[in-house]
Amino acid sequence: MSGFRTASEKVPTMKSLNGVKTENGVSSKASEAAKNDVKAEPEKIDFSNVKIEPLFEEMVDFGTFSKSDFRAVKVKECEAVPKSKKLLKFVLDDGTGTDRVILSGIHEYYEPEELVGKTCIAITNLPPRAMMGIDSCGMLISAVHEVDGKEGLNLLMVDDHIPAGAKLY
């Protein structure tokens, strides 16, 4: 498993720990590791077959860049948009106390239920844009790349300890 997603393959976000589960669905080995505060060895990923887009040759001045408001957002709900093969509708906690709705065309890479509870990064000061009759109020940040000739995409997810609304600099 390479850790990258392509449109033709669905990769779970977490590896099973030998498939051992208790009645509440938690791996006993994972529970023991948590009790002993043991850190798992990070998965080694081979990046030799990954192709990325070249960097932009044009520079963006700092003033233009700093106008974008990047925030940590928590996924409260996520569902497929009816009559759309690509769009997912996210209901997000952006720290303001009011739910934010963002649509993203990443359904070919993720199932909605696997994203609920995740902490992602969004640009929150974009004007609303109607898609499929629904206003999308922002943009979720993803990394796009090519693996073995196929496009891959990973939604940028961060540590769940980062609170909703935290500003990125």
Q: Is the pLDDT of residue 123 over 70?
A: yes
Tell me what pLDDT residue 65 has. Answer: 86
> Taking a C-beta distance cutoff of 8 angstroms, is the pair 100, 55 a contact?
no
Give the tokens for residue 23.
Answer: 């009645």
Q: Where are the alpha helices (DSSP H) in the chain?
A: 28-35, 62-65
| CATH number reported for the structural domain that contains residue 67 in this entry | 2.40.50.140
Domain interval for residue 162: 1-10+18-169
In tens, the pLDDT along 27-38 reads 444 445 455 555
CA distance 41 to 119: 22
CA distance 51 to 145: 6
Alpha-carbon torsion 94, 97, 103, 105, what sign? Answer: positive
**How many domains are there within the chain?**
1
Share of the chain above pLDDT 90, in %: 57
